[in-house]
Amino acid sequence: MNSTKLRFFSIATVLAVLTLAGCGSIESAAQDDCTSIGWQIGSKGYQDCYKARLYERKLDYSLPPGDRPTPSLI
């Protein structure tokens, strides 16, 4: 492989890892929330708690309806 392809592959790999790590953090935080209050993984109550916390966390990190990101002036 030449250095340009290797550099591109390295950058793509790093971006993929960071993207997957970001997705996992919301899910693991929701899991931690439910296990910290006493739910056991696999129980019906845990599944309900996990789905609710995951939904809430996704809402926390999403943009408000109708809001569009604006470019930075910096």
Does residue 66 belong to any structural domain of this protein?
no
Does residue 67 belong to any structural domain of this protein?
no
Q: How far apart are CA 29 and CA 44, in angstroms?
A: 19
User: What is the predicted pLDDT for the residue at 61?
Assistant: 79
Does residue 68 belong to any structural domain of this protein?
no
Domain that holds residue 33: 17-61
Task: Give the chain's domain count.
Answer: 1
Does residue 53 belong to any structural domain of this protein?
yes
Does residue 33 belong to any structural domain of this protein?
yes
Does residue 10 belong to any structural domain of this protein?
no
User: What is the predicted pLDDT for the residue at 50?
Assistant: 95
pLDDT tens for 18-69 read 555 555 688 898 999 999 999 999 899 999 999 999 999 888 877 777 777 6
Does residue 70 belong to any structural domain of this protein?
no
Residues 12, 19 contacting (CB under 8 angstroms): no
